[in-house]
């Protein structure tokens, strides 16, 4: 068996490990962050939960860090009170990004982790079954329910060789994206194995696993080996290690192979993680910004290599070198190793530990200028600049380019492999977290709700007969950033659905919220989309806010896994075209008619919908459980009816 199958088998609560079938997974740990966690806590309140039933749950404040008014600060107080009330570990602002923190402090090989952030899959670097999901699914897992997902294929990627100087782990995942695109991992778990693993540190593996989300994969898995053991020993957590490796005769559903020694520096051009070319093809392009850090390159090495490259050098005139340490600990490690001086003396701009510019919270680039980033995503406008030009690359490429002022192949800067000084001891201090109180004390905690904290809206169940207008039509690869943008304007309203709904599709069509409100939101409306609709972030606001505005049906060429689950959780019917070309036969303003919804969903996978009188075949891939959740009006209503 593969590592992935061993992990799934150990957590299988229902179903069989047959690709395409729905399975239920027992969840050991959960991860929430503040951009999605406020909704999770409101959902726990709506469920009437007394205390989380997981082995461990942790809440991180890493997204909404800019306190330009009361909203984010109030959210932080609310989250802290909710963590005490429900029995969750709390990481206050300033500690850093959730993913590397969770892996360092709480990650355990062999455990399952469900997170309300699509990059939760980064913990697969530690040998965990780590999956990103919508907040509602995470809330139900915290309540002790299984997490349901389609059993994926296992995609074995064999690694051989060793990375050459100037090439790093980011180039491995960018090469995967170059080969397979942003939906190549759909309904698959990517598992890396082979002799090349011995040459990749765990934080290198995290970079690769983190951006498996950009391939659309269910998750990414690495074995738990000697490298894993050494990392846990370094953090004083030797007892947490256990070996987990694939069997010699493992069967893979899909295979691929990468010779690390033959890789070259890669870069994703604007504005998709899948738009990848070798760096040598774009050298000489002028840049405005180089950005180091984020959950995609969170390791000590990722900043240390830049410091070594910048020693006794200066950033080119007109280039902003933005330094975003992934955690307070990594920043302290750089200081102890004497490397922070090199970064700052070269002209680096140091920002607080957190997600920051990766999610559009500060460090927005100038309009019409190129920004090189070690972040995982470059969707249009995600940086905070509406007409941005963001490129994704390795720390080596970003640093070399910052020095020269143009995109530069980092291999020009390396005559040999650089030896990185290590800190005297890696920073590790559990007291940076607020531990949950005992259950008897937690019952007396009152949730602190500021004026921006609004309870979940009450949503009507889907009617049996639907006749709705097409209010919006979009093309392929529409991301959740385009459905529900992030950034300093929008993120502070994550706990206020009526207010945040005003920003729905503002990147695509800023008239949508007004038109949705003018339409009868009880009768509702439909959205037509192309392939890979809802790719990217796990934010359930991209489903809940349009549903609040009256969305009833999405018909698309293909809907990304997490977004499809979020639509079901809030009572929106997700359908796919049987014939992808039928996307072109529907226009905005057409009327979609579907009668006898219950019988059609329960009667089979395919049926017809009427579009202004003409019939078009559509299909669904809902399980029997999901059909009942949808017909009940969403997951919360379904759980209430069960109890």
| Per-residue pLDDT at 522 | 66
Strands (E), 163-275: 188-193, 219-221, 254-259, 266-268
| Per-residue pLDDT at 459 | 85
Quick: pLDDT tens for 335-379: 999 999 999 999 999 999 999 989 888 899 999 999 999 999 999
Quick: pLDDT tens for 262-298: 999 999 999 999 999 999 999 999 999 999 999 999 9
Residues 6+ apart with CB under 8 A from 253: 19, 153, 154, 155, 188
Q: Over 80: is that where the pLDDT of 608 sits? A: yes
In our burial notation (b when 16+ CB lie closer than 10 A, e otherwise), range 469-482 reads: bbbbbbebbbbbbb
Domains detected in the chain: 3-262 (3.30.499.10), 277-413 (3.30.499.10), 465-642 (3.20.19.10)
Quick: pLDDT tens for 474-507: 999 999 999 999 888 898 898 899 999 999 999 8
Q: Over 90: is that where the pLDDT of 457 sits? A: no
The confidence band for 106, taking pLDDT boundaries of 50, 70 and 90, is very high
What Cα–Cα distance (Å) separates residue 299 from each residue in 99, 109, 308, 330, 412?
11, 19, 15, 7, 23
Q: Over 90: is that where the pLDDT of 105 sits? A: yes
Long-range residue pairs from 407-410, CB within 8 A, at least 24 positions apart, any chain: 407/267, 407/279, 407/282, 407/283, 407/284, 407/285, 407/287, 407/370, 407/372, 408/279, 408/283, 409/166, 409/265, 409/279, 409/280, 409/283, 410/166, 410/167, 410/265, 410/279, 410/309
Q: Over 90: is that where the pLDDT of 219 sits? A: yes
| Per-residue pLDDT at 14 | 97
Span 532-538, mean pLDDT? Answer: 93
| Per-residue pLDDT at 208 | 98
| Per-residue pLDDT at 613 | 83
Q: Return the percentage of the chain with pLDDT > 90, whole number.
A: 87
The confidence band for 639, taking pLDDT boundaries of 50, 70 and 90, is confident
Show the DSSP H helices in 125-265 as ranges.
135-142, 169-180, 202-210, 226-234
Quick: pLDDT tens for 156-176: 999 999 999 999 999 999 999
Mean pLDDT of the chain: 94
Reduced to 3 states (helix: H, G, I; strand: E, B; else coil), residue 161 is: coil
Q: Over 80: is that where the pLDDT of 432 sits? A: yes
Which strand (E) or helix (H) includes residue 543?
Answer: helix 541-548
Q: What is the CA radius of gyration of the chain?
A: 23
| Per-residue pLDDT at 58 | 98
Span 138-144, mean pLDDT? Answer: 96
Q: How far is Cα 417 from Cα 611, in angstroms, rounded to an integer?
A: 62
Please give the angle made by the CA atoms of 259, 265 and 270, to the nearest 5 degrees. 125
Contact 578, 448 (CB under 8 A): no
User: Phi-psi bin for 53: left (phi > 0), alpha (psi -120 to 50), beta?
Assistant: alpha
Span 184-194, mean pLDDT? Answer: 97
pTM value surpassing 0.75: yes
Q: Over 80: is that where the pLDDT of 412 sits? A: yes
Closest listed residue to residue 242, CA positions, set 3, 28, 17, 1? 3
Q: How far is Cα 387 from Cα 383, in angstroms, rounded to an integer?
A: 9
The confidence band for 643, taking pLDDT boundaries of 50, 70 and 90, is low
């Amino acid at each position: 068996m593969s590592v992935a199958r061993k992990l799934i088998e150990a957590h299988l609560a229902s179903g069989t490990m047959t690709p395409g079938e729905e399975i239920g997974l027992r969840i050991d740990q959960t991860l929430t962050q503040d951009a999605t966690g406020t909704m999770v806590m409101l959902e726990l309140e709506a469920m009437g939960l007394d205390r989380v039933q997981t082995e461990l749950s942790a809440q991180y404040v890493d997204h909404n860090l800019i306190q330009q008014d009361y909203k984010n600060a109030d959210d932080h107080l609310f989250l802290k009170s909710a963590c005490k009330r429900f029995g969750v570990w709390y990481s206050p602002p300033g500690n850093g990004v959730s993913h590397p923190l969770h892996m360092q402090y709480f990650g355990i090989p062999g455990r399952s982790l469900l997170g309300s952030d699509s990059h939760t899959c980064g913990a697969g670097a530690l040998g965990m079954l780590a999956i990103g999901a919508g907040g509602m699914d995470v809330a139900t897992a915290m309540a002790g329910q299984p997490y349901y997902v389609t059993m994926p294929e296992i995609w074995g990627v064999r690694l051989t060789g060793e990375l050459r100087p100037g090439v790093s782990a980011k180039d491995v995942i960018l090469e995967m994206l170059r080969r397979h695109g942003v939906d190549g991992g759909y309904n698959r778990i990517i598992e890396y194995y082979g002799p090349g693993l011995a040459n990749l540190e765990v934080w290198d593996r995290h970079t690769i696993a983190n951006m498996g989300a950009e391939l659309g994969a269910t998750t990414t898995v690495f074995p738990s080996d000697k490298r894993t053991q050494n990392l846990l020993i370094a953090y004083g957590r030797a007892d947490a290690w256990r070996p987990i490796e694939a069997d010699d005769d493992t069967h893979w559903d899909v295979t691929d192979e990468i010779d690390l020694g033959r890789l070259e520096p890669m870069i994703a051009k604007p504005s998709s993680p899948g738009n990848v070319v070798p760096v040598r093809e774009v050298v000489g392009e002028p840049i405005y910004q180089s950005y180091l850090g984020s959950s995609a390159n969170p390791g000590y090495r990722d900043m240390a290599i830049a410091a070594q490259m910048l020693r006794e050098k200066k950033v080119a005139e007109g280039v902003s070198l933005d330094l975003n340490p992934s955690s307070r600990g990594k920043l302290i490690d750089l200081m102890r190793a004497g490397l922070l001086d090199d970064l700052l003396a070269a002209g680096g701009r140091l920002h607080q530990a957190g997600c920051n510019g990766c999610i559009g919270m500060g460090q927005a680039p100038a309009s019409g200028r190129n920004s090189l980033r070690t972040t995982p995503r470059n969707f249009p406008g995600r940086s905070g600049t509406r007409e941005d030009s963001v490129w994704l690359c390795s720390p080596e490429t970003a640093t070399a380019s910052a020095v020269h002022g143009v995109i530069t192949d980092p291999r020009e800067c390396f005559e040999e492999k650089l030896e990185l000084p290590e800190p005297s001891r890696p920073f590790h201090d559990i007291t940076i977290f607020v531990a949950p109180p005992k259950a008897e004390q937690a019952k007396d905690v009152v949730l602190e709700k500021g004026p921006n904290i609004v309870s979940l809206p009450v949503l009507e169940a889907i009617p049996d007969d639907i006749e709705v207008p097409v209010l919006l039509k979009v093309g392929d690869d529409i991301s959740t950033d385009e459905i529900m943008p992030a950034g300093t304007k929008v993120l502070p309203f994550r706990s206020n659905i009526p207010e945040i709904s005003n920003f729905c599709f503002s990147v695509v069509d800023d008239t949508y919220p007004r038109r949705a409100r003018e339409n009868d939101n009880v009768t509702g409306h439909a959205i037509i989309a192309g392939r890979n609709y809802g790719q990217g972030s796990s934010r359930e606001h991209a489903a809940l806010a349009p549903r609040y505005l009256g969305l009833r049906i999405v018909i698309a060429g293909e809907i990304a896994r997490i977004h499809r689950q979020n639509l079901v959780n809030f009572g929106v019917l997700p359908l796919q075209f049987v014939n992808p070309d039928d996307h072109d036969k529907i226009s905005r303003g057409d009327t979609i008619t579907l009668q006898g919804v219950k019988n059609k969903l329960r009667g089979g996978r395919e049926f017809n919908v009427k579009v202004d009188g003409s019939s078009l075949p559509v299909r669904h891939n809902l399980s029997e459980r999901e059909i009942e959740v949808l017909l009940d009006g969403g997951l919360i209503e379904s759980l209430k009816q069960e109890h």
